[in-house]
Structure 1
Amino acid sequence: MNGRRFIQSGSRWEELAGYARAVVDGRWVFVSGTVGQDFRTGRFPEGAEAQAELALDTIGSALAEAGAGFDDVVRVRVYVPDRGDVVAVSQALRRRLGDNRPANTTVCSPLAVEGARVEIEVTARRNA
């Protein structure tokens, strides 16, 4: 499919909806919206910040498999159902992204996955 490569994380949602955790297309890496859920157990950690950290672990793994990292991220989209969680989620993002400073949009909206307090998607451009 025109040199595209698909990366899976093992989430049941990927199989259910027929999508990839990430798509690599040339130098671009598109990581799907990722909730902070342990895909092996189906459990969510307590709190939006802990869920953001777990979502970022999953995203980091997908980026690494694609030959990229958080330094390559150029766009972040964050969805949180509770406006009160925005600061905690933002702090988790800041720790992972460091001085990278990608474009960011944060939307307060209900999420499709029950129990999820955050969903994060990123776009990266590999430098290698």
Structure 2
Amino acid sequence: MNYLLVGIGGIVGSLLRYYLGVFTHSWWGYDFPLGTLIINLIGCFVLGWFTYHIIKMKIFHPHILAGIGTGLVGSFTTISTFSVETVTLIQHGLWIFALLYVALSLFDGLLMSWLGYQVGHRAAKKLQEKGAQAS
């Protein structure tokens, strides 16, 4: 069952990534790979939030958590596309874009993961406070 849910999550995540990339490319006509950057930053935030808030709530079966975290978010984000796009920028002599892309991906990815974790932490704290008040 775990494999099936991870596979389904992977299908959904990869399709979301593909369509968001196509959508971004349709209005962003520059050499900078903005679509992949946005996708990876969203994924960092969601996984940070998911890791703290959803997993800590313990309301979902571990198979569902694996399907969402590993399958959906794991296939939505992509290090391979990031790597190829960076090499492509370098091969086209766009060193500034390549360095900017790497720096934004790394530092903003860490920032988005931290923000997602913080949002999840605060949401879990509010739920605990509501539960304590109801008791």
User: What's the TM-score bracket when you normalise by the shorter of the two chains?
Assistant: 0.3 to 0.5
Greater Rg over alpha carbons, structure: 2
Q: Tell me which protein shows more strand as a share of its residues.
A: 1
Q: Tell me which protein shows more helix as a share of its residues.
A: 2
